[in-house]
């Protein structure tokens, strides 16, 4: 059981590091994400490949500031 917990913790730490690294790109290129269908242009998503699926970061960019709203598994977001 301890080994399984260590592996799960390690995987979670790697996922967080991958997400942070990917999201840091938005600090310099906030319009790099794609607009979300059926929403105002300010709402965007940024994919992050990780493992078998990956994550989608949802954020709002008002022209000067990008605000992270959520991070979901790509499978939860319909990908």
The full DSSP string for 8-68 is HHHHHHHHHHHHHHHHHHHHH-TT-SEEPTTS-TTEEEEEE--TTS-EEEEEEE-SS-EEE
Question: What pTM did the predictor assign?
Answer: 0.80
| pLDDT(61) > 70 | yes
11-57 pLDDT per residue, tens: 889 999 999 999 999 999 999 999 999 999 999 999 998 878 899 99
How far apart CA 29 and CA 50 sit, in angstroms, is: 21
Cβ-in-10-Å burial (0-12, 13-18, 19+) of 43 comes to: middle
């Amino acid at each position: 059981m301890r080994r399984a917990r260590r592996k799960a913790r390690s995987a979670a730490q790697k996922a967080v590091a991958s997400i942070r690294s990917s999201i840091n790109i938005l600090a310099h290129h906030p319009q790099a994400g794609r607009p979300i269908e059926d929403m105002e242009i300010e709402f965007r998503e940024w994919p992050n490949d990780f493992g078998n699926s990956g994550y989608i970061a949802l954020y709002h960019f008002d022209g000067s500031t990008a605000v992270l709203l959520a991070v979901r598994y790509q499978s939860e977001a319909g990908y």
